[in-house]
Amino acid sequence: MTPSAAGLVEITSQAFGVEIDLLYAGARNFTGRPVYRRASCFLHADAAAALARAVRLAAPLGYRLKLFDAFRPAEAQWVLWRHAPNPDFLVHPARGSPHSRAVAVDVTLLDPAGDELDMGTPVDSMSPESRHGTSEIRPEAQRNRLVLLGLMSAAGWDFYRNEWWHYQLFDARRYPLLSGSVVPGGP
């Protein structure tokens, strides 16, 4: 795990033992179009280390992690905000998302067969049912969210109350905002 000059580490399925399905690299996201130029996944070295801890904690329980997003260039945050300026689910780009600091992930759990666990809503569902602690979803989905929360918290991640899938480092604001120019070819 050798960080780039910007302190970023490329996250690959092989190196980290995770599945990667970057929603914003294709049209299967709330904008209906690709936001990233290429499907590359990066995190700051500190977040990469926390991701590796989460992977190690999940393995004995028979789970794997699936990443939907990680580093999101500041330019991409503007694209998302212009499409859906909803402060309950998106940080205003001028303030700076933890994703744009390369210290956040959007993640779910996979069972031993490689299927996503039921979390009650899809990733990026901008609805009250996406909140942590809601009782408006099936009990199995509540349990699955709690398992994910426990694994990620034990690995050093903080959660965002409105999105069951979003985790970030506790001190995310200490990391600088980054543009797509910090990675080769830009994400």
Q: Is 2 among the domain residues?
A: no
> Percentage of residues in the chain with pLDDT exceeding 70?
95
Q: Would you state the pLDDT for residue 2?
A: 63
- Note whether residue 172 is domain-resident: yes
Furthest-apart CA atoms within the chain: distance in Å: 45
* 38 within domain boundaries: yes
pLDDT for 88-133, tens place per residue?
Answer: 999 999 999 999 999 999 999 999 999 999 999 999 999 999 999 9
Question: Residue 182: pLDDT band by 50, 70, 90 thresholds?
Answer: confident
Query: Which residue range forms the structural domain that includes residue 19?
Result: 8-182
> Side-chain half-sphere of 139: how many Cα atoms within 13 Å?
0
Query: Are the beta carbons of 131 and 87 closer than 8 angstroms?
Result: no
Q: Is the pLDDT of residue 181 over 90?
A: no
- Angle CA(123)–CA(13)–CA(20) in degrees, nearest 5? 20
Domain-embedded: residue 106: yes
> Beta-carbon neighbour count of residue 70 at 10 Å?
27
For position 167, which CATH number holds?
Answer: 3.30.1380.10
The pTM assigned to this predicted structure is 0.94
Q: Which residues are catalytic?
A: 163
The yes-or-no verdict on residue 44 having pLDDT over 80 is: yes
The model's confidence at residue 37, banded by pLDDT at 50, 70 and 90, is confident
